[in-house]
Amino acid sequence: MKTEAITVNIGPQHPSTHGVFRLRVTFDGEVIQDVEAVFGYLHRGSEKLAEERTYTQVITLTDRLDYVASMTNNQAYVLACENLMDIEVPERGQYLRMIAAELQRIASHFVATGFLLQDLGAMATPLMYGFRERERILDMFEMLCGARITNTYMRIGGVFQDAPEEFWGSLRSFLDGMPGFLDEFDSLLRGNEILLARTKDIGVLEASEAINCSVTGPVLRSTGVAWDLRKVDPYELYPRIKFDIPIGTNGDNYDRFVIRLAEIRQSISIIDQCYEQIEAGPVRSTNELLFYPKTGDAYGKVEAPKGELGFYLVSDGGIAPYRCKIRSPSLINLTMIKDLLIGSKLSDMIVTLGSIDINMGEVDR
């Protein structure tokens, strides 16, 4: 029988491409023969805009990169600035940054697992359960800085302001309630036979291939490589904290899903230790808003929820960065999408894409 492969444009408007992302896919029936990723629909020129703003103003631009993880974006940028200007951060400021970043990691992983399950067709029930907890985190961000999504909480040399009293109360109750919620979430999802059948051994990524594509974050760790910048090249006060790196064995969709849940548990333990260790003191070493760093360059990187997020800044001694290069984990994790998708089915393609956890704000910058 004569058959014909058909080409379908999945996106830029599609319920599960996680933003304006487009895939030109050639299908043989339901099986994928060829994939061509097309992106750039959300390009706002963040890197160019950064050259027109002062060092402090650029922080607001970083909020809009990965808009479900603004805190870690702030952190990576201010770390780069501090490296460039040799500015010390007071301990309390560093602890507050770590608490905010780990809370943001939990929120981002809830969004990732929630939408992964929605891609699996589980309506929005697990998503809404995750969002209920994320809502509490966003409330805490509101206490910290007045904003919920685009925080601009961190400043060069510390954080915007000290946390108010009620923040510590709600953080404590959040930390106490979280393990119970995670156990419930785990038992509801990981015991589900359909979920296991849909995610295990689907979209398998080899460790060597992941490293060749310079994939980072949970996607790399799911292949069995224990690479976490908080351990490998510690920043802030992470050397004082005891935590584990969860790694997977197969590098399939299930591992990527499970590792995010395990990382949430680790983040809770990190926040718990920060809560115990934090002491009174200044939160910001300088109240300057305008900086004129020496000519030179610096790189600042953090383990963002999606992988290694890096800012490379070049200074010509002026008020604004001469060049600001953003190494966004979503874009680089997306580069191996073609190898991952060819040969799988349409349904699995959506799930694999969801399990990589891309964010178009960060991919297109």
| Rounded least distance, CB 295 to other proteins, Å | 32
* 226 touches other proteins by CB under 8 A: yes
* 318 touches other proteins by CB under 8 A: no
Q: Between residue 256 and residue 295, which ones bind other proteins under the rule CB under 8 A?
A: 258-259, 262
- Burial (Cβ within 10 Å: 0-12, 13-18, ≥19) of residue 219: buried
* 207 touches other proteins by CB under 8 A: yes
Task: Closer to other proteins by CB, 122 or 154: give it.
Answer: 122
Q: Which residue stretch of 7-15, 55-63, 285-293, 322-330 sits at the interface with other proteins (rule: CB under 8 A)?
A: 7-15
Residue 184 CA neighbour count, 13 Å, CB half: 9
Single residue of 82, 255, 272, 357 touching other proteins by CB under 8 A? 255
Single residue of 244, 282, 295, 318 touching other proteins by CB under 8 A? 244
Number of neighbouring beta carbons within 10 Å of residue 180: 9
| Rounded least distance, CB 167 to other proteins, Å | 24
Nearest to 161 by CA among 176, 174, 143: 143
| Integer-rounded Cα radius of gyration of the chain | 21
**Residues ≥6 apart with Cβ < 8 Å to 177:** none
**Residues ≥6 apart with Cβ < 8 Å to 286:** 87, 156, 157, 158
* 190 touches other proteins by CB under 8 A: yes
* 5 touches other proteins by CB under 8 A: no
* 3 touches other proteins by CB under 8 A: no
Number of neighbouring beta carbons within 10 Å of residue 243: 18
Is the backbone peptide bond immediately before 12 cis, with ω within 30 degrees of 0?
A: yes
Q: Between residue 72 and residue 131, which ones bind other proteins under the rule CB under 8 A?
A: 117-125, 128-129
Q: Enumerate binding residues for other proteins (CB under 8 A).
A: 6, 8, 14-16, 30, 117-125, 128-129, 132, 190-198, 200-201, 207-208, 211, 225-228, 231-232, 242-250, 254-255, 258-259, 262, 345-348, 350
